[in-house]
């Protein structure tokens, strides 16, 4: 996935899952944003790999 596509996916997930633009999100919004990325990740990576990626993202220090 290229930079532009990744940025657009993040913006779309933010608007759909948190109902706010990406630029306004706070660390508290990250769990909802990550879940909002799940459908796209499932499509691009497959369900098993998407689950692994989401688990890894959830372990990031910003998530604690």
- pLDDT of 1-50, one tens digit each? 689 988 998 999 999 999 999 999 998 999 999 999 999 999 999 999 99
Do the Cβ atoms of 62 and 46 come closer than 8 Å? no
Do the Cβ atoms of 33 and 19 come closer than 8 Å? no
Q: Which domain holds residue 32?
A: 3-63
Q: What pLDDT band is residue 63 in, cutting at 50, 70 and 90?
A: low
- Per-residue confidence (pLDDT) for residue 58, from 0 to 100: 87
Do the Cβ atoms of 16 and 9 come closer than 8 Å? no
H or E, element range at 51: helix 47-58
Q: How many domains does the chain have?
A: 1
Sign of CA dihedral 5, 37, 19, 61: negative
């Amino acid at each position: 996935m290229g930079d532009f596509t990744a940025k657009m996916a993040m913006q779309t997930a933010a608007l759909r899952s948190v109902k706010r633009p990406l630029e306004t999100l706070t660390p508290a919004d990250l769990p909802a944003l990550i879940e909002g990325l799940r459908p796209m990740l499932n499509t691009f990576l497959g369900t098993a790999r998407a689950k692994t990626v989401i688990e890894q993202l959830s372990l990031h220090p910003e998530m604690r």
